[in-house]
Amino acid sequence: MIAQVVGFDKDLVLPSILVAFSVLAGYVAIQSIYYFYFHPLASLPGPFFARITDLYGGYHAWTGRHHYHLYELHKKYGPVIRYGPNRVSFNSATAVKDIYGATKPLRKSAGYRALLLSGNVFSLFTSIDKSFHGKRRRIMSHGFSDAALRSYEPIVQERIDKFLEILTKEAGADGWGASKNMSRLCAGLTFDVMGALVFGQPFKILEDESGLSYVIDAIISASRSVGVMVHLPVFGKNNILFKIRGLFRLLFLSLKDLKNIKAFLALSAKLTRERTAQEAAKTAGEDIVKAQGVPNKDILGWILAATDPETGEHLSLSDVWGEARVLIIAGSDTTSTSLSGALYYLSRNPVILNKLRTELRTTFSSEDEIWPGQKINSCSYLKHVIEEALRMSSPVGGILWREAAVDHVVQGVTIPAGTDCGVPVYSIHHHTDYFHDPHVFNPDRWDENIVGAEAVAAAKSAWIPFQIGSRGCIGRPLANMELTLTLARIIYSFEIRVDESKRGVGQADVIPGHTEFETKDQLTAETTGPFLQFKKIEA
């Protein structure tokens, strides 16, 4: 009866479905044939499904192992592979310069729009427009100047003090502390440091791991979901899909994840408002006590005081909040990965560990002397250990995609306008053309006196943990300061041993015979372990 009223003929249902399916199948077939045989990138080698759909890259990003997968693909297909219908992966130092060089006609891939929380409020990291990025970077650079970094030193050292206290907590009669998951503990340190440097107050995760530790969990889960979407550029290029990207993220998030992310966003918004109000009170000339005595000794203090070099305007509250969120994520998760990686390799290489400790104890008469300055800068082996840790355990192991604004030649290959290209960090960091025995942790590879200037120059040309060019990491000096001070103070003052009951946690056999510190590459790296014990070295 109802079918008759609305003119619905049930006999047409099946034929209609078949017609719709046939049209869809025909469209997919025609598009696949075009991608495979007639597309400008058709001649480039690569996996079959990668050449016809971005879902291939999205799937491997979801597994967290796409950086290892790219490494295997480049071993199979060579230095240039097609990793999507409109995406090309290169594995050479030449490509690094051709793609990421400051003057090259490429911009950040539209896929990074998927990172936006609302509308088109871009941050320094998510911005695609090169002009916008240049203006925003000039404002943000005030928070990373030499003067700013010097003002951060006591804050960083205070958090390291607390971190070192925990290492021998619950020590037994033999002086060895309880086993520690260094990925989690290092994350607590770096998130605390960034909380103090961004908002003027640490999260105090080190004091109470059960308190604000959801901040760490929130960022890990959020990175996992948006990391997949970056590999599906259609969400950035198609306005309809862009508007519903939040629904797609739900596929990769549990209710607990959503709760943690919501809590982190609320906390960061609250702290941003409070910090902005404090600066406004000081600017208005109110009593310093009413302004809670907050000096320009944190990053937001410097940024809030800075103005656009062209308009003279300050950042809006929404802009400040956006930058604050990114600073917490980029400045915390990335540094903790490299620090955990360094401790993993040092704990398993006693010769390297002892050589580093000898250098530090020869240079400094006490741990209290370990501060930024000429002495620590003279510790060349410490520098090489950190360089090697950043190579082996780079915070980003996959590709930071760039879109060609015009037809552009990369390593002799013409990349059509609108096409994404990039260099997978893990792959080039383990390329035998630049690194001898690339799966071996060897700080000496950075010493010209041992391997020669030519070998070091080749290694540096392929070393990109912080990227290069105008998009290079603005927080690199701060990350170096954290890594240098923390690692130096640990090695100077503590013996280290592996918790043998958990030796295999956080390890991966990427190639037979070589065990590495495992990183799950999402938007940033996710790690577990190493589980280590520490014992204070008596003076």
Distance CA 170, CA 178 (A): 6
Distance CA 501, CA 363 (A): 35
Question: SS in 3 state form for 133-196?
Answer: HHHHHHHHHHHHCHHHHHHHHHHHHHHHHHHHHHHCCCCCCCCECCCEEHHHHHHHHHHHHHHH
Contact call for residues 384 and 15 (beta carbons, < 8 A): no
- State the number of CA atoms in the 13 A half-sphere of 124 facing the CB: 26
Distance CA 365, CA 379 (A): 14
Peptide bond into 530 cis (omega under 30): yes
CB-based burial of residue 539 (10 Å sphere; 0-12 exposed, 13-18 middle, 19+ buried)?
exposed
DSSP 366: S
Q: Which residues contact 154 (CB under 8 A, 6 or more apart)?
A: none
Contact call for residues 426 and 67 (beta carbons, < 8 A): yes
186 annotated among ligand-binding-site residues: no
Nearest CA-CA partner of 423 in 67, 95, 69, 22: 95
Nearest CA-CA partner of 199 in 279, 123, 253, 130: 279
Q: Is 305 helix (H, G, I), strand (E, B) or coil?
A: helix
CB-based burial of residue 149 (10 Å sphere; 0-12 exposed, 13-18 middle, 19+ buried)?
middle
Q: Which two tokens stand for residue 53?
A: 């759909």
Rg (CA), the chain: 25
Annotated binding site, which residues? Answer: 473
Binding residues for heme, by number, are 473
